[in-house]
Amino acid sequence: MRAMMSKEAGGPETLELTETETPKPGKGEVVIRVRAAGVNFPDTLIIKDLYQLKPQRPFAPGGEVSGEIESLGEGVSNVSVGDRVLAVPGYNGFSTHVVAHKSTLVPIPDDMPFDQAACFILTYGTSHYALKQRANLKEGETLLILGAAGGVGAAAIELGKAMGARVIAAVSSEEKAAFCKELGADETLIYPREMDRDAQKAFSGAIKELAGPKGVQVVYDAVGGNYAEPAVRALGWEGRFLVVGFPAGIPKLPLNLTLLKNCQVVGVFWGAFTQMEPDVHQANLKELFGMWSKGQIKPQISASFPLEKAADALRMLEDRKVLGKVVLNVD
């Protein structure tokens, strides 16, 4: 098989296209012939040893894939050779073949393209869980999304609209704002690349102006850093602030704001949720595939790369140039 291997800690340029033996499945495992691999921000961290998961080298990044079952290990009866599936192996997805545990396999509809399937579960799974279970988003509420043009942010726009919310998309450029409008965002806000104290006050004021007198009911924060506090200040009474990610840094919030607004700061750890509440996770997946079949959601793939260009795909993420999702076509 071929794989883009991380043999030493570092940036995308350290990945090496490597020929190695095709793996064999162990007990409870399958081997997937990978057709497409989603590219996500954790992939930029795991190769630098900055992610909570630290595999033994050499390994390939790539936490979500789609393809066909090529071989079965002992004790696997929930799928058959040739089945079309997506999976979340955690890493090693940037390869032509990957081993995945049977519990991570999700059958995909016959009419779902492999590239869409490889960009489906992490973004929509995270955003759906965040908005439905963690925020209890209600029809008619105002939802502010920070980092709205990224993978999880774009998914949150579509899901927020499908759930009947009024969506304010906050992004860093006019191009990204136009992209969010096309996805259905009701309003857009452009924030500066650097957020000093004056910029924070201006950003919070702009959010409040768009939100109206009741403020924002739910904040979906996929950015973190100095962008978090202005959003919390724009929350209305009993608002919910969702901690989804922090590529701009881990924010520090004045907790007196939570008292004054009677609001909640809520963590979103989708990966752990799928293990802790598998039945709810399966129900969520069923709902998401139903929304896909109705055309309510569709992965927004802005760029595709061949396997050997995985470093270029990761650089796009690091440079914040991605609109929606980036995918590797492994065929």
pLDDT, tens digit, for every residue of 290-299? Answer: 999 999 999 9
Residue 220 has pLDDT above 90, yes or no: yes
| Residue type for position 45 | L
pLDDT, tens digit, for every residue of 79-99? Answer: 999 999 999 999 999 999 999
Percent of the chain having pLDDT more than 90?
Answer: 93
**Mean pLDDT (whole number) for 200-206:** 97
* pLDDT value of residue 331: 78
Residue 68 has pLDDT above 90, yes or no: yes
Surface-to-core class of residue 256, CB atoms within 10 Å of its CB (0-12 exposed, 13-18 middle, 19+ buried) = exposed
**Mean pLDDT (whole number) for 191-216:** 95
In angstroms, the Cα distances linking 54 to 45, 50, 51, 201, 270 are 10, 8, 7, 38, 18
Model confidence at 115, pLDDT cuts 50, 70, 90, reads very high
Domains and CATH numbers, the chain: 2-120+299-329 (3.90.180.10), 122-271 (3.40.50.720)
* pLDDT value of residue 303: 94
* pLDDT value of residue 53: 85
* pLDDT value of residue 252: 93
pLDDT greater at residue 41 or residue 31: 31
Model confidence at 52, pLDDT cuts 50, 70, 90, reads confident
Residue 321 has pLDDT above 90, yes or no: no
Model confidence at 63, pLDDT cuts 50, 70, 90, reads very high
| Average confidence score pLDDT of the chain | 95
Model confidence at 210, pLDDT cuts 50, 70, 90, reads very high
Surface-to-core class of residue 55, CB atoms within 10 Å of its CB (0-12 exposed, 13-18 middle, 19+ buried) = middle
**Mean pLDDT (whole number) for 269-278:** 93
* pLDDT value of residue 194: 87
